[in-house]
Amino acid sequence: MSEPRVTELGMLSIGLVAAGVIDLAAYLPRRAPLLAPSLLLAAAAAVLAANLVQVARRPGFAWRRFVQVAGWTLVAYLVIAGMLEYTFLYDRTRGGVLAVMTGLLAVFTLNVPLLVGYTVARYERA
């Protein structure tokens, strides 16, 4: 069975998040149209979900190591995400823009632990 393309899909998902953030930031301080970033958010979340399914269906995967590494990475990135969310709130980002920004941030924050945890766990052997 060939190796799942977790890294490539992770890069794609992070790229879609980045495109959404750039699109929103390009309109600041005016209110940005939300259609394009919302579509980018949906696409990024779909790619992340597909990636998670790929990992979950991998036979003989080292789940213990994955949970250990991804868990600690998630803790670190939650600190960074918390700081970014604080910056959005501090800058008085509200309503739909805040919701889309938070969604993009959440997808980004989940992608990193998945990528680090998967890369470590795929080389794990008994």
Partner 1 sequence: MAVVQEVAPARPAERPGFEIVPRRGLPAVAAVVVALVVSIAGNWPWALDFFHVVGGGMWTALDLFMGFVVGPVMRRLSVPARVELTTRLMPKMLLIMPTLVTMTLASGFQLARANGMLSGSYGRHGWVVASMVVVAVMAMVALALLQPANVAVLFELRRPQPDPAIVQALMRRFVYAAGVTGMMQVATLVIMTRLAT
Which residue ranges make up the site for partner 1 (CB under 8 A)?
A: 7, 10-11, 14-15, 18-19, 21-22, 25-30, 65, 69, 72-73, 76, 79-80, 83-84, 86-87, 90-91, 111-112, 115-116, 118-120, 123-124
For partner 1, which is the closer residue by CB, 27 or 49? 27
- Minimum distance from CB of 115 to partner 1 (Å)? 5
The CA dihedral of 66, 68, 71, 76, to the nearest 10 degrees, is: -110
CB of 118 to partner 1, least distance (A): 7
Closest distance between partner 1 and the C-beta of residue 80, in Å?
6
Buried b (16+ CB within 10 A) or exposed e, 78-104: eeebeebbeeeeeeebeeebeebbbbb
Residue 62 per-residue DSSP state: -
- 73 in Cβ contact with 115 (< 8 Å): no
Closest to partner 1 by CB, 53 vs 86, is 86
CB-nearer residue toward partner 1: 20 or 103: 20
Q: What is the DSSP letter of 3?
A: P
Q: Are 107 and 13 within 8 A, CB to CB?
A: yes
Q: How far is the CB of 42 from partner 1 (least distance, A)?
A: 18
Identify which of residues 72 and 94 has a Cβ nearer to partner 1 in the complex.
72
